[in-house]
Amino acid sequence: MSRVQPARRVAADVLAAVRSSDAYANLLLPARIRDARLSGADAGFATELVYGTLRMQGYYDRVLELAARRPAAKIDAPVLDVLRLGAHQLLSLRTAPHAVIDESVELVRRARKASAAGFVNGVLRTLTREQPETWRERALAGLAGHARLAVEFSHPEWVVDALAEALALEGAGAQLAELLAADNAAPQVAFAALPGLAEPVALEHNGRYLPGRLSPLALGSPGGDPAAHAEVAAGAVRVQDEGSQLAALALTRVRPVAAGERWLDVCAGPGGKAAVLAAEAALAGARLVANEVVPARAGLVRNALAPFGDGADAPEVVVGDGRRFADAERLATGRERFDRILLDAPCTGLGALRRRPEARWRKSPDDLAALTALQAELLDAAVAALAPGGVLAYVTCSPHPDETRQQVARALERHPALRPLDTPGVVETIARAPLALPDAPSAQLWPHRHGTDAMFIQLLTTLEA
């Protein structure tokens, strides 16, 4: 029988899968917790171990390099997983050293790296010989500016640079450290009560949900497994960040809906925003087409839209490259024009680092050129498919200027008939509480200001025919 506590064993397995198989911690961890039958404190401990280790991975690598006297890149990856996990417990959780060291040695043996057991023992014992504050001083010694912030808050330096630039565009450069700290804080679980299927106020009154903060659809979580709620199991309530809710509602509530409108979600997977669009469309007599290029993600969209049935007026899920909506033959029929289009574009995901901490280590500046080229092509397709006078919502879960303001500016240059709408005004009108958005055509939400993902929203329209 393993001498490793189940929570640590689950955490080590998830960290290994994130590294070796590009698994997503937010998807894999709940399944592993259920498989191991963890509950209560054990489930919470496993969650803290995984997310805390992934968030602070860059900082821990810096400290481990000092303790091991070798670069992190020179340490076998499975061994480094165990060392990072141990460092999180010793430096941040301040767990009893003997438990951390003994079980870390066992974990490295389970990873078939028994020859490294002595090395792991020695490095972790070295960490215990000085206080965490001392290791922090040593890790930051000789660093300044963004290089220091990158280590201190465990972000790649290029990400720090991009976030600093985005804040500077709002005259808020002094908030950089606050934003980086917010990226490392566990986010509050938020739910969306889908219009027509669930009523937020009624659900708040039953005591199983807390009030939401910003979105009129939002509910808060009192804790526990979100999937345990009957409304979530039925699809009437979804786990969804309030920033995502506001992005979808900005499109549906920018102006009154005319019966018979046709709506398009260009990149609908995994289906969260599509579910909000479908609910709003059903109430207003509009029809939604949800497109997704990846078949497996299209399956997730179908699941998200299942509560709306499969009748003639139900939302339609189609599979294909979103760029095909610019095809001249399709547009010539007139049936491929849409009155409202959501383009939640593929992006670096730098706005969701609280929820997907591993994303900061998977992306690089080299990814940006391909992503921005794809975003531009999808934007062009969405503009081509937009009916005269229709509304397009360009949304990214990234505040990177190349993916947000600059992308929109280039689209406006390419399409003279395109016009920006007062997006902050629309979002402020929808929100339950003031957002204090800067005076700009676009709306940028922030974790440190709004408690949401860093969602960028720009509403655009075309001249009437």
Active-site amino acid positions: 397
Nearest 10 degrees: CA dihedral of 219, 24, 184, 271?
-30
**Judging by DSSP bridges, how do beta strands 456-462 and 316-319 pair with one another?**
unpaired
Task: Spell out the residues 6+ positions from residue 308 whose beta carbon is closer than 8 angstroms to its own.
Answer: 278, 279, 282, 314, 315
* 211 contacts 204 by C-beta, under 8 angstroms: yes
Long-range interactions of 303-310: CB distance < 8 A, separation 24+: 303/235, 303/271, 304/235, 304/238, 304/270, 304/271, 304/272, 304/274, 304/275, 305/271, 305/274, 305/275, 305/278, 306/235, 307/194, 307/197, 307/234, 307/235, 307/236, 307/275, 308/278, 308/279, 308/282
The tokens for 314 are 């139900």
The tokens for 26 are 């937010």
How many Cβ atoms from other residues are within 10 Å of residue 228's Cβ?
9
How far the first Cα of the chain sits from its last, in Å, is 73
Q: From CA 255, how far away is CA 450, in angstroms rounded?
A: 24
The DSSP code for 437 is -
Q: Report residue 434 CA to chain centroid gap.
A: 23
* 287 contacts 308 by C-beta, under 8 angstroms: no
